[in-house]
Amino acid sequence: MEYLLIFISAIFVNNIVLSQFLGICPFLGVSKKIDTALGMGGAVAFVMTLATIVTFLVQKYLLEPFGLQYLQTLAFILVIASLVQMVEIILKKVSPSLYQALGIFLPLITTNCAVLGVAILVIQKDFSLLESVVYAFSTAIGFALALCVFAGIREQLALVKIPKGMSGMSIVLVTAGLLSLAFMGFSGVDGGLRTLFGLD
Protein backbone atom coordinates (compact mmCIF):
# COMPACT_ATOMS: atom_id res chain seq x y z
CA MET A 1 0.00 0.00 0.00
CA GLU A 2 2.97 2.31 0.70
CA TYR A 3 4.02 2.04 -2.96
CA LEU A 4 0.52 2.98 -4.14
CA LEU A 5 0.61 6.08 -1.91
CA ILE A 6 4.03 7.05 -3.29
CA PHE A 7 2.63 6.53 -6.82
CA ILE A 8 -0.50 8.68 -6.30
CA SER A 9 1.36 11.36 -4.35
CA ALA A 10 4.14 11.75 -6.95
CA ILE A 11 1.72 12.04 -9.88
CA PHE A 12 -1.03 14.25 -8.47
CA VAL A 13 -0.31 15.71 -5.03
CA ASN A 14 3.38 16.60 -5.37
CA ASN A 15 3.57 16.88 -9.14
CA ILE A 16 7.19 17.69 -9.97
CA VAL A 17 6.30 20.51 -12.37
CA LEU A 18 3.05 21.98 -11.05
CA SER A 19 3.65 21.65 -7.30
CA GLN A 20 7.43 21.58 -6.86
CA PHE A 21 8.23 23.74 -9.93
CA LEU A 22 11.11 21.58 -11.17
CA GLY A 23 11.55 20.95 -14.90
CA ILE A 24 9.89 24.20 -16.00
CA CYS A 25 12.23 24.66 -19.00
CA PRO A 26 11.06 21.56 -20.96
CA PHE A 27 7.53 22.09 -19.63
CA LEU A 28 7.31 25.44 -21.40
CA GLY A 29 9.55 24.55 -24.35
CA VAL A 30 8.27 21.14 -25.50
CA SER A 31 4.57 21.67 -24.84
CA LYS A 32 3.48 23.03 -28.21
CA LYS A 33 2.39 19.66 -29.64
CA ILE A 34 1.06 16.56 -27.88
CA ASP A 35 3.25 14.21 -29.98
CA THR A 36 6.44 15.99 -28.95
CA ALA A 37 5.23 16.18 -25.34
CA LEU A 38 4.62 12.41 -25.30
CA GLY A 39 8.09 11.78 -26.72
CA MET A 40 9.71 14.07 -24.17
CA GLY A 41 7.68 12.48 -21.38
CA GLY A 42 8.86 9.01 -22.43
CA ALA A 43 12.50 10.12 -22.68
CA VAL A 44 12.34 11.80 -19.25
CA ALA A 45 10.65 8.71 -17.73
CA PHE A 46 13.42 6.45 -19.00
CA VAL A 47 16.25 8.79 -17.95
CA MET A 48 14.69 9.67 -14.58
CA THR A 49 14.09 6.05 -13.57
CA LEU A 50 17.50 4.85 -14.74
CA ALA A 51 19.28 7.88 -13.26
CA THR A 52 17.58 7.33 -9.89
CA ILE A 53 18.70 3.68 -9.78
CA VAL A 54 22.30 4.52 -10.72
CA THR A 55 22.57 7.59 -8.45
CA PHE A 56 21.06 5.61 -5.54
CA LEU A 57 23.72 2.92 -5.97
CA VAL A 58 26.47 5.54 -6.34
CA GLN A 59 25.29 7.24 -3.13
CA LYS A 60 24.98 4.03 -1.06
CA TYR A 61 28.01 2.11 -2.32
CA LEU A 62 30.49 4.83 -3.30
CA LEU A 63 29.81 8.21 -1.70
CA GLU A 64 28.57 7.16 1.77
CA PRO A 65 31.14 4.39 2.51
CA PHE A 66 34.06 6.72 1.62
CA GLY A 67 32.56 9.83 3.25
CA LEU A 68 32.20 11.66 -0.07
CA GLN A 69 28.62 12.88 0.38
CA TYR A 70 29.73 16.43 -0.42
CA LEU A 71 30.34 15.26 -4.01
CA GLN A 72 26.70 14.12 -4.37
CA THR A 73 25.49 16.87 -6.73
CA LEU A 74 28.57 16.68 -8.96
CA ALA A 75 28.45 12.86 -9.16
CA PHE A 76 24.73 12.86 -9.90
CA ILE A 77 25.10 15.45 -12.68
CA LEU A 78 27.83 13.34 -14.32
CA VAL A 79 25.65 10.20 -14.14
CA ILE A 80 22.62 12.01 -15.61
CA ALA A 81 24.68 13.59 -18.41
CA SER A 82 26.07 10.16 -19.35
CA LEU A 83 22.60 8.58 -19.40
CA VAL A 84 21.19 11.39 -21.57
CA GLN A 85 24.01 10.83 -24.09
CA MET A 86 23.08 7.14 -24.16
CA VAL A 87 19.37 7.93 -24.71
CA GLU A 88 20.31 10.38 -27.49
CA ILE A 89 22.38 7.73 -29.31
CA ILE A 90 19.61 5.11 -28.95
CA LEU A 91 16.87 7.52 -30.16
CA LYS A 92 18.98 8.55 -33.14
CA LYS A 93 19.15 4.92 -34.29
CA VAL A 94 15.71 3.65 -33.20
CA SER A 95 13.46 6.65 -33.92
CA PRO A 96 15.08 9.38 -36.06
CA SER A 97 11.73 11.20 -36.43
CA LEU A 98 11.33 11.54 -32.63
CA TYR A 99 15.00 12.51 -32.38
CA GLN A 100 14.41 15.31 -34.93
CA ALA A 101 11.16 16.39 -33.23
CA LEU A 102 12.83 16.73 -29.83
CA GLY A 103 15.80 18.55 -31.36
CA ILE A 104 17.53 20.81 -28.85
CA PHE A 105 15.27 19.68 -26.01
CA LEU A 106 16.84 16.21 -25.78
CA PRO A 107 20.16 17.58 -24.47
CA LEU A 108 18.04 19.76 -22.15
CA ILE A 109 17.19 16.60 -20.16
CA THR A 110 20.79 16.87 -18.92
CA THR A 111 20.00 20.23 -17.36
CA ASN A 112 16.41 19.28 -16.44
CA CYS A 113 16.42 19.97 -12.72
CA ALA A 114 13.51 17.51 -12.29
CA VAL A 115 15.83 14.56 -13.02
CA LEU A 116 18.51 15.79 -10.60
CA GLY A 117 15.83 16.84 -8.10
CA VAL A 118 14.30 13.36 -7.97
CA ALA A 119 17.73 11.73 -7.59
CA ILE A 120 18.46 13.97 -4.59
CA LEU A 121 14.92 13.73 -3.11
CA VAL A 122 15.01 9.92 -2.86
CA ILE A 123 18.21 10.20 -0.80
CA GLN A 124 16.72 12.93 1.41
CA LYS A 125 13.50 10.94 1.93
CA ASP A 126 15.61 7.88 2.85
CA PHE A 127 13.75 5.61 0.43
CA SER A 128 14.81 2.05 -0.27
CA LEU A 129 15.89 1.15 -3.81
CA LEU A 130 12.43 -0.18 -4.73
CA GLU A 131 10.68 2.87 -3.23
CA SER A 132 13.13 5.10 -5.13
CA VAL A 133 12.30 3.38 -8.43
CA VAL A 134 8.54 3.67 -7.78
CA TYR A 135 8.92 7.34 -6.81
CA ALA A 136 11.09 8.15 -9.86
CA PHE A 137 8.78 6.38 -12.31
CA SER A 138 5.66 7.95 -10.74
CA THR A 139 7.26 11.39 -10.84
CA ALA A 140 8.10 10.87 -14.52
CA ILE A 141 4.47 9.90 -15.21
CA GLY A 142 3.37 13.05 -13.37
CA PHE A 143 5.79 15.10 -15.47
CA ALA A 144 4.49 13.50 -18.70
CA LEU A 145 0.87 14.01 -17.61
CA ALA A 146 1.42 17.71 -16.88
CA LEU A 147 3.32 18.12 -20.15
CA CYS A 148 0.63 16.41 -22.27
CA VAL A 149 -2.30 18.22 -20.61
CA PHE A 150 -0.50 21.53 -21.09
CA ALA A 151 0.33 20.67 -24.72
CA GLY A 152 -3.35 19.86 -25.37
CA ILE A 153 -4.40 23.21 -23.90
CA ARG A 154 -1.78 25.05 -25.98
CA GLU A 155 -2.98 23.31 -29.16
CA GLN A 156 -6.49 24.56 -28.39
CA LEU A 157 -5.21 28.06 -27.62
CA ALA A 158 -3.63 28.18 -31.09
CA LEU A 159 -7.13 27.85 -32.59
CA VAL A 160 -8.74 30.76 -30.74
CA LYS A 161 -8.29 34.50 -31.03
CA ILE A 162 -6.36 35.85 -28.05
CA PRO A 163 -6.11 39.58 -27.21
CA LYS A 164 -2.86 41.08 -28.48
CA GLY A 165 -1.59 41.92 -24.99
CA MET A 166 -2.03 38.31 -23.84
CA SER A 167 -0.66 36.52 -26.92
CA GLY A 168 2.59 34.59 -26.94
CA MET A 169 4.30 33.67 -23.68
CA SER A 170 1.84 35.72 -21.57
CA ILE A 171 -1.10 33.37 -22.16
CA VAL A 172 1.21 30.36 -21.80
CA LEU A 173 2.32 31.46 -18.31
CA VAL A 174 -1.25 32.30 -17.24
CA THR A 175 -2.40 28.88 -18.44
CA ALA A 176 0.47 27.16 -16.59
CA GLY A 177 -0.55 29.00 -13.42
CA LEU A 178 -4.19 27.94 -13.78
CA LEU A 179 -3.13 24.33 -14.40
CA SER A 180 -0.98 24.48 -11.27
CA LEU A 181 -3.98 25.76 -9.29
CA ALA A 182 -6.07 22.87 -10.66
CA PHE A 183 -3.50 20.36 -9.39
CA MET A 184 -3.57 22.02 -5.96
CA GLY A 185 -7.02 20.49 -5.65
CA PHE A 186 -5.30 17.14 -5.06
CA SER A 187 -3.48 18.39 -1.94
CA GLY A 188 -4.36 16.30 1.08
CA VAL A 189 -5.34 13.22 -0.95
CA ASP A 190 -2.27 11.28 0.20
CA GLY A 191 -2.94 12.19 3.86
CA GLY A 192 -6.55 11.08 3.49
CA LEU A 193 -5.48 7.76 1.96
CA ARG A 194 -2.93 7.20 4.75
CA THR A 195 -5.66 7.73 7.36
CA LEU A 196 -8.10 5.53 5.43
CA PHE A 197 -5.66 2.62 5.27
CA GLY A 198 -4.29 3.21 8.80
CA LEU A 199 -0.72 3.93 7.70
CA ASP A 200 -0.23 6.98 9.98
What digits encode the pLDDT tens for the residues 30-72?
A: 778 888 888 888 878 888 999 999 999 999 999 999 999 999 9
- The per-residue pLDDT for 105 is 65
- The per-residue pLDDT for 59 is 95
Rounded distance, CA 73 to CA 60, Å?
A: 14
Low-confidence ranges of the chain (pLDDT < 50): none
Whether the CB-CB separation of 24 and 145 falls below 8 Å is answered with no
DSSP 100-166: HHHGGGTGGGTT-HHHHHHHHHHHHTT--HHHHHHHHHHHHHHHHHHHHHHHHHHHHHTTS---GGG
Rounded distance, CA 86 to CA 51, Å?
A: 12
- The per-residue pLDDT for 200 is 63
First to last CA, the chain: 12
Cα 151–chain centre separation: 15
